[in-house]
Chains A and B, each alone.
Chain A
């Protein structure tokens, strides 16, 4: 479904990577590895269409990405918190869904927050939560936003042991229902299988 071929990226004069190719089918995931500054985040941003590549092609369902269909199938969680500090976790989830044009009922969003261990924090402004809890609010979007392709950049940062296990479970569930995931991480991931790509 996802076919990437001959991707190249440079920052200024420096070549970050060239000729990166991989493909993912339903139920597969890719672990992007590399040292700091190897270009993992750049690859992720290229992949989702936030920046454009020097060379190479990205195909999603045999169509060139990024298209509207690709964006509908995609969820990308990067380094940023990507939540509004002044709003509550519940408001954040509902506004994000409204912007994406996706219907979300309160039962689903509450269940997502509870699953991520934020019971009792639904109505607090995000700014009073800890860094790890903010991360969990963001991760709740994985449950409230239906998507086929998950692109998670360093998603395991700032998470405690139980949250790391939970995220591993979420990814495994997603893969078992025919989803795909591209992950970057320095630590070994608690998800079985998976292809590896070393930059």
Chain B
């Protein structure tokens, strides 16, 4: 059963929803999102494609609580987030974020970087450590736990960022060009790992990417152009 059918049938739970979302910058002179309507259901992998500046990252930022819309409604796991002041802490258990640049803290070790979300969420040390071991085993980083970020390769850094994003067992993973800064081989490896992790963890993935080959491997491919969603199709 493809995802579009699933949505249409209403059998699967909608975990991300945007209704008539508008977003502009520079006091309204640059409108990035122009009435976006979007839904993603539980367990789906969605690729957001489109040219630079079409609004992919902005939409992810809005879903992740990094920014707020000018108007329209956004809900994450049935939580209407645009009404909350501290959306980032509200979403700490719901959403994990992976960026093009890994955004790790260089003075901390791999393990410490991964544990940051658990500190924020107040998860006890033992549980956090167990989860860290589980994820670093899965991503092949267990031998690098105590290494500082500067000592890691680009691929290892992005795998670390992936582990960090999944530490609090979020239901949704938002990835903004997660392989954009990597070479082709590393890019493929990371993407395989990403798909594998979201499948085993039962996470919904929404990924902004320019890479059509990677996008094709998601359940669903959503085209964005000029601040609007133009089409939605099954990638496979």
A interacts with B: no
